[in-house]
Structure 1
Amino acid sequence: MDKPSYMFDRDREWAALARFVGNEAPGATLGVVYGRRRQGKTFLLDAVCTATGGFFFAATEATEAETLSRLGAELAQFLGLPSAVGLTDWYQAVDWLLALGRERPIPVVIDEFPYLVQASPALPSIIQRAYAPNRAERTGSRARLLLCGSAMSFMGGLLTGTAPLRGRAGLEMVVPTLDYRSAARFWEIEDPRLAARMHCIVGGTPAYRTEFAHGDSPAGPTDFDAWVVRNVLDRDSPLFREARHLLAEEPNIRDQGLYHSVLGAIAGGNNTRSGIASCIGRKVSDLAHPLTVLEDSGLVNREEDVFRAARATYTIAEPLVTFYHAIMRPEWSRLDRAGQAARVWTESTERFHGRVVGPHFEFLCREWAQLHAAPEVFGAAPSRVGRGVVNDSEQRRSHVVDVAVIGSTPGECRPLLAIGEAKWGERMGVGHLDRLRRIRTIVRGRADLDAAAARLVCFGGAGFSNQLRAAAEEDDDVVLVDVADLYRRSGRI
C-alpha cells in the first residue's frame, strides 16, 4: 500500500496502518486512532480507505436513530444495494460492519467516534461483545475496524483500566503534530529564525496552513509581523479563536474559566503546581484534577525535574494556546475591535519574546538534543533530555538548567552528558559559560549523577561573543549551538 504522493510526511503512521490493514490473518481486528484536531487524522484514514477500497463513515452529532439510518444508507451505497440497510440497533450495525471483511482484509473506519458514544453510551460494550474471541461474526471476518476521534481524554481512555475495549485493540495510534523540522518544510520556510518564530505560534499543526491560513506563508523574515497580524490577530481569521475552541472541544472540561486561568498561569511562567495555585488564587490540592484533565487532553505536558525526582513542571503542549494566553487574552477586548491588531502586536514585542519565543526556544533545544543531535555532540546518544533546578547552597541560590542530557549507561549513577543554557534574544558570552561551569561543579558532588565528562552547551538564538567562541575553540567540553544548527539535518555542528 503505497503512500499517496500528495501526503506530506506521516511515513511512520502510514506504515503502521498499512501493516494493520493489510494483515491477512483471519479474524476481525480493532484499532484506535486519535490525536488533537487539525492534525490530519481524517485525511490519513480516508486516504487508506481510498487506497484499499475500504469503508469510511464520518459520524456527526445526532441521535442514535438518525445515525443508524445514515449508516444504513452509506452501507447500501458502498455495497451497491438498491435500498438502505435497515439497522435497528448498534448490535446489528456492528455485525454489518464486520461482514464487510468476509472476503478480504478491509479497513472500516468510524471517524469522530465520540459523537456516537455521546448518543449511544453502550457502544463500546457492544463492540466488545462483537469481538468476543470465538464469535462466528468475528472469526469469519477480516474487517480492520478503526475507531477515530479527537477528544484525547476520551479516546485514550477507551483501552485503559476497566474500559470495555481494553485488550481488544491491535493498534493504538496517536497522530502527533509535525515536529519542528517537518513543520518548517511544510510551511516552506528556509530561514531558521523565521521557522522557529513560526513554530512558537502555530506549532506543527498542518491544518493551520492548509485550511486556516489558506496556504499563506510568510514571504520571508520581514513579512513575519504582517503575517501574524493578518492571520492570527485578525478577528475574522479562523486562527483568531482557535485556542479557545481547542479547550471547548474537550468533553471533560466543564469549568472553562478555571482551565483558562490554569493555562494563563503556565503561559505567564508559573510552571510548578504551587506557582500556578498562587497565581490563580487556589489551593494546591484544587489543581490535581484540572491538571490531570489538561494532561489527558494533550494540552499540558508534565515534566519531571532531571535533578529532583519529586519536583515537576508544567508546560503548554500547543504553541497557539501559549500565544493566545500570553499575547491575545490580555488584549482581547482591543483585538476584538477592528483596526487594533497591528497596534496590539507592535506593543506586544517584549511579551512575545519573553513569554513565547524564549521558553519555546528552550523546548526546541531540548527536542534537538533528544532527537536530532549527532552522538558526537554529547559524546554518546542521550536516553533522556529534560530541564531541572540545581541548588547552590554555597551561594544560596538556585540555578535553572534549560537542557540537561542524561546518558543510557545502566546503574544507579546516571551519566550526565551535558548541561545547557538557551537564550533567544540575548547574545551569549563567557558569563553564561561561567554559570554552566559552576552548575557542573555542584552536580559533580552528587552520588546519583556522573558529571565528570559533562559538556557545557550554549544555545544562542542571537549568536555568541568573540570571547565565548574563543573559549569553545580552546575547550572541547564547550559546545556552541545556534538556530541554524537546530535545523541542520546532519545533527552536527
Structure 2
Amino acid sequence: MHKPAAIVGRDRQWRAMQRFLHGSGAEETQCGSLRLGLVSGRRRTGKTQLLTAVCEAVGGLYIACVQDEGDLAARRRFASAITEHAGLRNTIRGEPESWERLLRAALETSARVSPAGSPAVVVIDEFPYVMANAPQLPSLIQHLYDESQQGRGPGGRLILCGSALSVMHTLLSGTQPLRGRAMMDMRLNALDYREAAQLWHLQDPEVAFRVHACVGGIPGYRPLMPSVPTAVDDFDGWVTDNLLSVDIGVFTRTEVDYLLREDPRITARSVYYDILSAVAQGARTPAKIGAAIGRDNNAVRYPIGVLESAGYLTKAHDLHRHGKPTISVCDPIIRFDRLITAPHLGQLELGRVEPVWRAAAPTFRSNILGPHFEELAREWVHRFAPDELGRPIGFGQVGFGSVQDDRGRAKHDIDVIATEGDRVRLIGEAKATLARRGLPDLERLDAIRQLLAREGKDTTETVTALFSATGFTTDLVEAAGSRADTVLVDLKRLYGLG
C-alpha cells in the first residue's frame, strides 16, 4: 500500500495506518477479529484526504457524517453508503435499520467486497456529528468489538474520525465504552514548516517563512488559495487577496469562527475570542489574561483549558528556571486574526484592505514574524538539527529559558535552549529583525554560557546557535568559522537549502 504522491508528509502516519490495517504481515487481514482505530485533528488538517486514500487503496467503505443532521436522515445516509459500496441500487424506503444492524452490515459488506488480500475497512468520518443524536453508538461498537474478539461477530477494521477533539478524546477516557479497545489513536497535527513549503511549492525560504507565519502547516488552506506568492514582492498582495478579504472563504475571522464552533464545549464564544486576543497581545498567565479581559483569575482557567485541549493555546515552561508556565497562541491563523484582522474588522468590511495591511506592518513584524521565527528555531533544533549536526539521539528537551545574573543584576532571556538533566546541550538566539546578527550576539551567548556554568550546569559540550532571518555580519561569520561549537542558521539553512 503506497502513499499517494498528492499527500505531502504524513509518512509516519501512513506507516502506522499500514500496521493497523495489515498487522505484522503474518496475521490474517481479511478475517481476524475487529480492530478499532481513531483519527482526530483540527479542521483542515487533511484527515479526510488521508482516510479516503486508505479506502481507495484497500477498497474500504468510507462514510461521511453531516453536522446537524437528524438521526433518521443520518441512518438513511449510512444505509445508502453501504448499498452503494455493495454495488446495489439504493432502494431504501421508510424507516432504515437500527444503528446496531447498520454497523454490522457495514463491516460485513466491506468484508464481502474487499479485494483479496485486503482487510475489510470501514471509515466513519466526522463521527461526533452522528453521535450527537445517537449517543449509544460507542456502546454498540463496544458490543460488536467484544463479540468479534469471541469469534461471534464481524471482523475487519473500523476507523472513527472527527474534528471535535474533546469528543474524540473522551471516547477512550475514563469509563467510556471504547476505553482500552482502540489499537490506533492517531492525532493528525499540522505539517512541519518544511513540509508546508513543499505543499505550497515555495522555493524562496523567506516567502515560505512568511506564509507559514500566517497559516501554518494546515493542508486544507492550500486548495482554497489558488494564488501562491512566489517572491517576497508578491506576499502583500497574497495576504490582502486572501486572509483579509471579507468575501473569501479563508477570511481569517470566518475561519476562526468555524474552528471554535467545532468544539461543543465552546458556547459563549465572545469569552474565548477575548482570551485568544489577550494571549496574542502578550498576556501569558491566567492572572494577566483575566486582568486583560476584565475577569477573575479563576473564571478564565476553564476556557483556557478548553482552548489548550483543542490545540489553539499551548503552555510551556522555562527550561532553566522551572517557574509557572507561559501561555501562547499556537495556531498561526488564530494569532493572525486576533492581531491583524480583529482590531480592524470594521475597516476591512468597508473594503479598506490595503490601508489596514500597511498600518498593521509593525505588528506583523514584531508580534507575528518575531515570535514565529523563535518557534521555528526551536523546531529546527528538535526536529532537524540532530541529523544535520550529527547528533542522532537529539539534544534533549528543547524550549526557551532565562538565567539570572546576580552580579550584573539582570535577567537574560534565552530564545532557544536544549537541556538533558544538568547538561546544557544548546543555547541560541533567534531574531527576525531587519538588522543582521553580529559579533555582540555571540558574545552575549558566551556570557550566558558562563552564567549557566557558574550555576553548576554542565556546558562543556554546549552548542552555541545564532538564528537570523536576515543573515549575519562578516565578523560574526569569521568568528563562527573558527569555532567548532558555534552554528549560524539563516532561513536557507532553516529550510534545509544550504
1:343-358 to 2 correspondences below 5 Å: 343-358=355-370
* Alignment partner, residue 423 of structure 1: 431
The letter for the 1-side match of 2:244 is L
CA distance in 1, matches of 2:402, 2:296: 24
Aligned position for 1:410: none
Change (3 A) 1:301 1:468: same
Please point out which of 76, 80, 87 is paired with 1:80. Answer: 87
User: 1:229 Cα shift?
Assistant: 0.7
Amino acid in the other structure paired with 1:237? I
Contact 1:28–1:139 (Cα < 8 Å) also in 2: no
Residue number among 28, 34, 37 corresponding to 1:28 in the alignment: 34
- Once the two structures are TM-superposed, the CA of residue 330 in structure 1 deviates from its matched residue by 0.8
Two-structure CA RMSD over aligned residues (Å): 2.1
Q: Is the 8 A contact 1:76 1:84 kept in 2?
A: no
Cα deviations across residues 276-331 of structure 1 (Å, max 9, x unaligned)?
23322333333321121111101112212211334212222211111111111111
Contact 1:384 1:405 in 2 (8 A): yes
3-state secondary structure, aligned to 1:282:
coil
AA matched with 1:357 = L
Q: TM-score, structure 1 length as denominator? A: 0.92
Asked whether 1:456 is paired with 2:464, we answer yes
Structure 1 counterpart of 2:19, one-letter code = R
CA distance in 2: counterparts of 1:250 and 1:220, whole angstroms: 37
CA deviation digits over 1:11-63, x for unaligned, max 9?
Answer: 22222222222342510111001111112111111121122111111111311
* 1:244/1:81 CA distance change after superposition, 3 Å: closer
Match of 1:403 in 2: 416
Question: Which residue does 1:6 correspond to in 2?
Answer: 6
Partners of 2:405 and 2:109 in 1: how far apart? 66
Partner of 2:98: 89
User: Given the superposition, is the C-alpha separation of residues 438 and 273 from structure 1 closer, same or farther in structure 2, using an over 3 Å criterion?
Assistant: farther
Are residue 181 (structure 1) and residue 191 (structure 2) matched?
Answer: no
Equivalence for 2:250: 239
Q: Which residue of 2 is the match for residue 44 of structure 1? A: 50
2:453 to 436, 444, 460: 444
The residue matched to 2:132 in structure 1 has which SS?
helix
Describe how 1:26-425 pairs up with structure 2 within 5 A: 26-60=32-66, 61-81=68-88, 83-84=91-92, 87-100=96-109, 102=111, 105-132=119-146, 139-210=152-223, 212-213=224-225, 215-240=226-251, 241-338=254-351, 340-374=352-386, 377=389, 381-407=394-420, 413-425=421-433
Cα distance in 2 for partners of 1:81, 1:223 equals 51
Q: Are the aligned partners of 2:400 and 2:416 in contact in 1 as well (CA < 8 Å)?
A: yes
Separation (CA, whole Å) in 2 of partners of 1:231 and 1:157: 36
Contact 2:204–2:230 (8 Å) recurs in 1: no
1:119 aligned counterpart, secondary structure? coil
How far is 1:139 from its partner? 4.9
CA distance 1:139–1:484, shift in 2 (3 Å): farther
Q: Which moved more, 1:1-10 or 1:69-78?
A: 1-10
Q: Secondary structure of 2:295's match?
A: coil
C-alpha contact 1:27 1:139 (8 A) present in aligned 2? no
Aligned residue for 2:146, secondary structure, equals coil
Gaps of 5+ in 1: 408-412
In 2: Cα distance, 1:19 partner to 1:84 partner: 36
SS at match of 2:416: strand
Distance 1:393-1:278 versus aligned 2 partners, 3 A rule = farther
Q: Structure 1: how far apart are the matches of 2:289 and 2:403?
A: 21
Tell me, yes or no, if the aligned pair for 2:462 and 2:485 is still in contact at 8 Å.
yes
Judged with a 3 Å threshold, the aligned counterparts in structure 2 of structure 1 residues 441 and 283 are, in CA distance, closer, same or farther, namely farther
The percent of aligned pairs where both chains have the same amino acid is 37
Residue 494 of structure 2 corresponds to which residue in structure 1? 486
Query: How far off is 1:343 after superposition?
Result: 0.8
Q: In structure 2, how many angstroms separate the alpha carbons of the residues matched to 1:175 and 1:139?
A: 33
Opposite residue 221 of structure 1, the aligned amino acid is: V
CA distance in 1, matches of 2:416, 2:149: 53
Q: Which runs of 5+ in 2 are unaligned?
A: none
Deviations 1:199-238 (A, max 9, x none): 000111112111x21x310131111111111111111111
Q: Distance in 2 between matches of 1:388 and 1:45?
A: 40
Letter in 2 for 1:34: S
1:254 maps to a residue whose letter is: T
SS in 2 for 1:100: helix
In 2, the alpha carbon distance for the partners of 1:356 and 1:297 equals 21
Cα shift at 1:378: 8.1
CA contact (8 A) 1:378 1:455 kept: no
Following the alignment from structure 2 to structure 1, what is the Cα–Cα distance between the partners of residues 482 and 287?
43
Aligned partner of 2:104: which letter?
Answer: D
Q: Read off the aligned partner of 2:305 and give its amino acid letter.
A: T
1-side partners of 2:155 and 2:427: how far apart?
52
> By how many angstroms is 1:102 displaced?
4.8
CA distance in 1, matches of 2:145, 2:387: 46
Distance in 1 separating the partners of 2:78 and 2:422 = 56
Q: Post-superposition shift, 1:375?
A: 5.2
- The alignment partner of 1:129 has SS state of helix
Q: Take 2:63 and 2:319, find their aligned partners in 1: how far apart are those partners? A: 45
Q: Secondary structure at the match of 2:45?
A: coil
Is residue 362–residue 422 contact of structure 1 (8 Å, CA) maintained in 2?
yes
1 CA distance for matches of 2:291 and 2:464?
A: 34
Structure 1 residues 97-128: Cα deviation after superposition (integer angstroms, max 9, x where no partner): 23235556211010110101111122212212
